[in-house]
Amino acid sequence: MRIFMFKSRVKPDLRAFAGEAAGAGLPEKYGPWDPIGVVRPDASPPHGFSRRTIEAAIARDAFQLWVTQPLAKPAAAKAAAPAPKAQTPAA
């Protein structure tokens, strides 16, 4: 089975797997949905997700949702941020 991947325009960190290229059956409240890729039948899904679990969810619900997490800022970027300036009361 080919698994189609989509990204929500409403919630940019929300993704979905579906069994149809058009994304029919994806939750409307998070749409519109943009296609972002395809997992071939001989390939593994991204991020170590279980193909069996995804296919079962698609058979049951027509989709499976998943959320990306924002990347943490590198420690160097945090250290480079200027310290807040102390304010002295006006005399």
Cα–Cα distances (Å) from 31 to 11, 12, 19, 64, in that order, read: 9, 10, 17, 14
Q: According to the model, what pLDDT value does residue 48 have?
A: 93
Q: 57 near 15, Cβ under 8 Å?
A: no
pLDDT of residue 76: 53
pLDDT > 60? residue 44:
yes
Domain boundaries, the chain: 3-69
Burial of 44 (0-12, 13-18, 19+ CB in 10 A): exposed
Q: Mean of the per-residue pLDDT values for the chain?
A: 85
- Is the pLDDT at 84 greater than 60, yes or no? no
User: What is the pLDDT, as a whole number, of residue 69?
Assistant: 79
Task: Give CA separation, 67 vs 4, 42, 47, 70, 82, in Å.
Answer: 16, 24, 11, 10, 32
Judge whether 8 and 33 are in contact, CB under 8 Å.
yes
pTM (2 d.p.)? 0.74
pLDDT tens, position by position, 3-33:
999 999 999 999 999 999 999 999 999 999 9
